[in-house]
Amino acid sequence: MTLKQAAAKRDDSALESTAKPKGKPLALQKSLRRNDRTGFDRLIYERVRLGIMSALATNESLTFNELKALFNVSDGNLGAHARKLEEAGYVVCTKSFEARRPKSVYRITAVGRKALLKYLEHIESVIKATRKI
């Protein structure tokens, strides 16, 4: 097993607890992705997804190729992470064609911006608490 495969397997097993249960209301599905006691959103925690969210928070929109170049990841890897963020309602993707080539443009949603800010507040509180030690 290569290092990439091991990392992907570890990421997939960490996300198993965050998978959407079938037949449950969407609001309940979203709340199950988070540890409500701490406010820590495991969906945003992963490096590439946090990068996507941060990049989109500071830019009006970015294309798939721009995001791919920022994080130096494969098409499949970026696509999988972006899809998870789309399913959560954190980003939206607009697909079109430009010069006969597909073009995907991503934007952060209000829900996504709120989730990112909550995540950053949580991380800041952890940093502050750690510095007091």
Can you say how many angstroms the Cα of residue 17 is from the centroid of all Cα atoms in its chain? 16
Whole-number pLDDT of residue 54: 97
How many residues in the chain?
Answer: 133
Dihedral (CA of 40, 44, 48, 53) sign: negative
d(CA 24, CA 101): 38
Residue 10 lies in a domain: no
For residues 61 and 102, the answer to whether their CB atoms sit within 8 Å is no
Q: Residue 82: which domain range?
A: 41-127
pLDDT digits (tens, 9 = 90+) for 3-49: 555 555 554 544 444 444 455 445 434 444 444 555 678 899 999 99
Residue 76: its H or E element: helix 75-87
Residue 14 lies in a domain: no
d(CA 29, CA 24): 6
**What proportion of the chain, given as a percentage, has pLDDT over 70?**
71
Residue 58 pLDDT class (50, 70, 90 cuts): very high
Greater pLDDT, 15 or 107: 107
CATH number of 49's domain: 1.10.10.10
Q: Which of 111, 112, 89 is nearest to 26 (CA)?
A: 89
Least confident of 33-37, 54-58, 69-73: 33-37
In the chain, the number of structural domains is: 1
Residue 34 lies in a domain: no
With a threshold of 0.75, does the pTM exceed it?
no
Q: Which of 116, 108, 77 is nearest to 91 (CA)?
A: 108
Q: Which of 36, 38, 41 is nearest to 15 (CA)?
A: 41
Whole-number pLDDT of residue 133: 76
Whole-number pLDDT of residue 9: 54
Residue 24 lies in a domain: no
Residue 86 lies in a domain: yes
Residue 4 lies in a domain: no
Residue 45 lies in a domain: yes
